Homo-oligomer: A and B are copies of this chain.
Amino acid sequence: MTEKENYIEQVGLFYEQYGLPKMAGRILGYLISSDSDNNSFEDIQKSLKASKGSISGNINLLLKQGMIVKHMISGDRKSYYKMSLNSLESILDSKVNSVTQFKMILETGLSFDLNGNSLKKKNLTKILNYYEFLENEIPLLRNKWEEKANNQM
């Protein structure tokens, strides 16, 4: 196994921790370590020595999640893929989403606790406050990044 192949496997394992199929992680590893932005389906499939079915499914998964983008080259009917830049802000957006979801879960759960003065309820309310804090702060972070990114251009 070359050093690069080994790297690609590591990226696969890294993303597996976060719930993606290993193959999707390998595709990201391939895109990160490749020499160009023009990575065709075929390049990816041959490099990763996997079936067309698996590459197709995982590419579409990554597209749906906004982690990669597809682009075409005129006069060429292959599809090309690269890491997505526009997903940077959306990473924080989706974070806000899950924070909001969890807040709702906590609120619903607390509504089952009839004994309103319990220590338990107080503690969970603290957790609720924390998620509310994050819900407010993350969009500020998003703005801060956008400003910074604009200034750099």
Contact = CB atoms under 8 A, between A and B. Distances in A.
Contact of A137 (B18, B85, B124, B141): B141
Interface in A108-153: 108-110, 112-115, 118-120, 123-124, 126-127, 129-130, 133-134, 137, 141, 144-145, 148-149, 152
A118 B130 CA distance: 43
A18 B127 CA distance: 18
Interface of A: 3-4, 7, 10-11, 14, 17-19, 29, 32-37, 82-83, 85, 88, 98, 101-102, 105-106, 108-110, 112-115, 118-120, 123-124, 126-127, 129-130, 133-134, 137, 141, 144-145, 148-149, 152
Contact of A36 (B3, B29, B88, B115): B115
A124 B14 contact: no
A17 B19 contact: yes
Contacts of A120: 34-37, 82
5 contacts: A32-B106, A33-B108, A83-B127, A85-B126, A88-B127
A119 B143 CA distance: 25
Contacts of A134: 141
